[in-house]
């Protein structure tokens, strides 16, 4: 071992209290300690912090850590303090007096690590200060924020491109847990890391079992899932709305599952108390919005459930990634339905006026990727890893053995004929109605509304007896997810997309994982 490696190993043990490096940590640390820049792509929980914290101690001067997450800085710094590392942070929550004291201490060489918000780094004042002291390295955390294609674009990050010019010779380490190919290219370009080495860890979480099912009655489905698979175990359930987190928590408690709610609208003391309780006690289920989870380090979370689709594959991966950090089997379980698709498409479209067309297209492409993950008849893991640009080593599509596609042998169903009927029905009724109405027409319901419109006389009236109402919902949902319909207007009426012609002409066949034919007709209305 080189003397550098020996020193790194000693610090790892004595300061951080770990016996060995994980994954590529040792390589990354030596690389930076030797003064080189790099990009580190590692999933959440992989151990990115150590990759800059340890070189900060190995190199002279102070390490500047740029992080957009002000809420996490304090926590990171207090963990470092417990380990006896001289660290602090500078952000907008401090008074200018407190900041001035810290700046004096920096000049005196009293810190190994200083966390700063990107907007702070860019001030002239701070800049001038940095010019006067030795800098060990710049760590750019959450580096995907430089990319406007990503889901977390921060304009201040774009200006970090000045670092190599203003601080030549200081190594830069960009870290992120989420970067598709395009975002990765952006990071390398914006931070001028084109020549730098990239350390890319696998995103595979083999101990996570991915399951995605159609929503019928999501609370019931959740209760059954917890009772059957995770009684007495800790888990997180993600919902889209604050109200839903509270209602779901109350309902689970009423069903003897200890549950707590968490969302950004709660009073801070209550929220903190819920978080502490979840971390300390066993077997608590946290019902939360996406506000929960950043920086949560609880190794024995046995499941992460989604009652609504998250906004992107990145969010899905991050949120599910909080389960099973201890490496033991854990479940990533999700239900979804047409209302999710409509909500997300609507959100994507409502931003349309404010963002440029390519950015908008990127957003639509991200949404399509998410829906395709839900609708796929192939292995979920393969799709996920594909999305992150990681080639899966398996030649077969159904190979992971630990997702619903690989574990259950649901035969794939050809539903082209039903799809043709659904599309014709939309066409015959003038492309001006929502899904439930169209299903009523297909199944031949004699409602007043149908009679008023004269749709009991169109050729598609009552031609859909082969499917239950739930079966038809499955068909419509797939067609919507796959982009054969577009949903528009306040009432989310369905229109045919150009691609629908291929199905109507019999050139495109539609295959589903979930059989709509034998679906146990649930009487729950999908909340559309
Ligand atoms: P990330 O920033 O990639 O999400 P963290 O840096 O927060 O991950 O690390 C995740 C967890 O792994 C933390 O609890 C951290 O203390 C732990 N960890 C990191 N490196 C090691 C290691 N070499 N050995 C044991 N635990 C580690
Ligand atoms: Zn699989």
Pocket test for ligand 1, best of 21, 49, 176 (most atoms within 8 A of CB): 49
Q: Alpha helix (H) ranges present in 132-176?
A: 155-158, 163-166
More confident residue, 483 or 392: 483
Q: What is the mean pLDDT of the chain?
A: 88
Assign residue 401 a region (left: φ > 0; alpha: ψ between -120 and 50; beta: otherwise). Answer: left
Domain 3-200 belongs to what architecture? Answer: 3-Layer(aba) Sandwich (3.40)
24 lines ligand 1 (CB under 6 A): no
Mean pLDDT of all residues in 488-496 = 75
45 lines ligand 1 (CB under 6 A): yes
pLDDT tens track for 508-528: 888 876 666 654 443 333 333
Task: State the burial class of residue 297 (Cβ atoms within 10 Å of its Cβ: 0-12, 13-18, 19+).
Answer: exposed
Whether 83 has a pLDDT exceeding 60, the answer reads yes
Q: Encode 41-79: b = buried (16+ Cβ within 10 Å), e = exposed.
A: bbbbbbbbbbbbbbbbbbbeebbbbbbbbeebbeebbeb
3-class DSSP state for residue 431?
A: coil
The pLDDT score that the predictor gives to residue 401 is: 87
User: Could you give the ipTM of this predicted complex?
Assistant: 0.98
Question: Cα(176)–Cα(220) distance, rounded to whole angstroms?
Answer: 37
Task: Give the residue, by CA position, lying nearest to ligand 1 atom 14.
Answer: 297
What are residue 402's DSSP bridge partners? none
Question: Cα(88)–Cα(106) distance, rounded to whole angstroms?
Answer: 10
Which atom from ligand 1 is nearest to the alpha carbon of 297?
Answer: 14
Residue 3: how many CA atoms within 13 Å on its side-chain side? 0
The pLDDT score that the predictor gives to residue 515 is: 62
Q: What distance in angstroms lies between residue 307's CA and the mean position of ligand 2's atoms?
A: 21
297 lines ligand 1 (CB under 6 A): yes
Sign of CA dihedral 151, 91, 163, 28: negative
Whether 431 has a pLDDT exceeding 50, the answer reads yes
Please, which residues have CB within 8 angstroms of residue 281's CB and are 6 or more apart in sequence?
none
18 lines ligand 1 (CB under 6 A): yes
Task: Give the residue, by CA position, lying nearest to ligand 1 atom 15.
Answer: 47
Q: Encode 257-283: b = buried (16+ Cβ within 10 Å), e = exposed.
A: bbbbbbbeebeeeebeebbeebeeeee
Q: Alpha helix (H) ranges present in 482-514?
A: 500-504
pLDDT tens track for 13-69: 999 999 999 989 999 999 999 999 999 999 877 899 999 999 999 999 999 999 988
The Cα-based distances of 107 to 113, 124, 131, 354 in angstroms read 13, 16, 10, 43
pLDDT tens track for 203-215: 888 899 999 998 8
23 lines ligand 1 (CB under 6 A): no
Helix crossing, 313-320 with 357-375: angle to 10°? Answer: 50
Assign residue 393 a region (left: φ > 0; alpha: ψ between -120 and 50; beta: otherwise). Answer: alpha
Classified by CATH at the fold level, domain 208-355 comes out as: Rossmann fold (3.40.50)
- Evaluate whether 3-200 and 208-355 have a shared fold: yes
For residue 77, give the H/E element and its range. Answer: helix 70-82
pLDDT tens track for 306-339: 999 998 888 999 899 999 988 899 999 999 887 8
Specify the CATH class of 412-518 in words: mainly alpha
pLDDT tens track for 252-286: 999 999 999 999 999 999 999 999 999 999 999 99
Please, which residues have CB within 8 angstroms of residue 312's CB and are 6 or more apart in sequence?
151, 366, 367, 370
Percentage of the chain lying above the pLDDT 70 cut: 91
The pLDDT score that the predictor gives to residue 410 is: 64
* Joined tokens for residue 36: 């080189």
The one-character DSSP state at 523 is -
Mean pLDDT of all residues in 348-366 = 70
Q: Which ligand has the minimum distance to the alpha carbon of residue 69? A: 1
42 lines ligand 1 (CB under 6 A): yes
Beta-carbon count within 10 A of 479 CB: 25
3-class DSSP state for residue 170?
A: coil
Q: Which ligand has the minimum distance to the alpha carbon of residue 400? A: 2
Mean pLDDT of all residues in 436-463 = 95
Q: Which ligand has the minimum distance to the alpha carbon of residue 212? A: 2
The one-character DSSP state at 403 is B
pLDDT tens track for 377-429: 778 998 888 887 776 654 444 478 899 988 887 667 889 999 999 999 999 99
3-class DSSP state for residue 140?
A: strand
pLDDT tens track for 281-314: 999 999 999 999 877 879 899 999 999 999 888 8
| Cβ atoms of 287 and 259 closer than 8 Å | yes
* Joined tokens for residue 209: 């079992």
pLDDT tens track for 180-203: 777 888 899 988 998 899 998 888
The pLDDT score that the predictor gives to residue 523 is: 36
Q: What distance in angstroms lies between residue 383's CA and the mean position of ligand 2's atoms?
A: 9
- Domain residue ranges of the chain, discontinuous segments joined by +: 3-200, 208-355, 412-518
Task: Give the residue, by CA position, lying nearest to ligand 1 atom 24.
Answer: 18
Which atom from ligand 1 is nearest to the alpha carbon of 295?
Answer: 7
């Amino acid at each position: 071992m080189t003397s550098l490696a020996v020193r790194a190993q000693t610090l790892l043990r004595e300061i951080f209290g770990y016996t060995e490096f994980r994954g590529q940590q040792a390589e990354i640390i030596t690389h930076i300690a030797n003064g080189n820049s790099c990009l580190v792509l590692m999933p959440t929980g992989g151990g990115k912090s150590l990759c800059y914290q340890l070189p900060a101690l190995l190199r002279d001067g102070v390490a500047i850590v740029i992080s957009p997450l002000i809420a996490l800085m304090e926590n990171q710094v207090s963990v470092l303090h417990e380990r006896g590392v001289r660290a602090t942070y500078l952000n907008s929550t401090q008074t200018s007096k407190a900041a001035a004291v810290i700046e004096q201490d920096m000049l005196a060489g009293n810190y190994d690590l200083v966390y700063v918000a990107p907007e702070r780094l860019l001030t002239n004042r701070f800049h001038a200060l940095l010019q006067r002291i030795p800098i060990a390295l710049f760590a750019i955390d959450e580096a995907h924020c430089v990319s406007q294609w990503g889901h977390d674009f921060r304009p201040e990050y774009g200006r970090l491109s000045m670092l190599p010019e203003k601080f030549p010779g200081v190594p830069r380490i960009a870290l992120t847990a989420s970067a598709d190919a395009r975002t990765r290219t952006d990071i390398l370009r914006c931070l001028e890391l084109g020549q730098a080495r990239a350390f890319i860890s696998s995103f595979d979480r083999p101990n996570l079992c991915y399951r995605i099912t159609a929503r019928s009655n999501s609370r019931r489905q959740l209760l059954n899932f917890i009772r059957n698979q995770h009684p007495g175990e800790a888990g997180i359930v993600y919902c889209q709305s604050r109200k839903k987190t509270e209602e779901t928590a109350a309902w689970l408690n009423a069903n003897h599952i200890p549950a707590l709610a968490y969302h950004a609208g709660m009073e801070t003391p209550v929220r903190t108390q819920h978080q502490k309780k979840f971390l300390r006690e066993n077997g608590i289920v946290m019902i939360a919005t996406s506000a929960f989870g950043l920086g949560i380090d609880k190794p024995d979370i046995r499941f992460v459930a989604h009652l609504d689709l998250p906004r992107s594959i990145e969010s899905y991966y991050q949120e599910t990634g909080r389960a099973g950090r201890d490496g033991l089997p854990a479940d990533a379980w999700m239900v979804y339905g047409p209302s999710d698709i409509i909500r997300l498409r609507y959100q994507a479209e409502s931003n349309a006026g404010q963002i440029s067309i390519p950015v908008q297209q990127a957003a639509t492409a991200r949404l399509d990727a998410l829906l395709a993950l839900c609708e796929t008849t192939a292995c979920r893991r393969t799709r996920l890893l594909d999305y992150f640009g990681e080639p899966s080593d398996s030649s077969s599509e159904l190979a992971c053995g630990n997702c619903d596609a690989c574990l259950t042998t649901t035969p794939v169903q050809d539903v082209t004929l039903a799809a043709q009927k659904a599309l014709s029905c939309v066409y015959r009724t003038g492309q001006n109605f929502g899904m439930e109405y169209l299903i009523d027409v297909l199944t031949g319901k004699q409602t007043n509304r149908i009679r008023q419109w004269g749709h009991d006389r169109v050729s598609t009236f009552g031609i859909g007896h082969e499917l239950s109402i739930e079966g038809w919902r499955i068909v419509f949902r797939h067609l919507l997810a796959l982009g054969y319909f577009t949903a528009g207007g306040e009432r989310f009426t369905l229109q045919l997309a150009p691609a629908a012609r291929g199905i109507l002409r019999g050139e495109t066949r539609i295959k589903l994982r979930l059989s709509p034919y034998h679906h146990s007709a649930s009487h729950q209305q999908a909340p559309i």
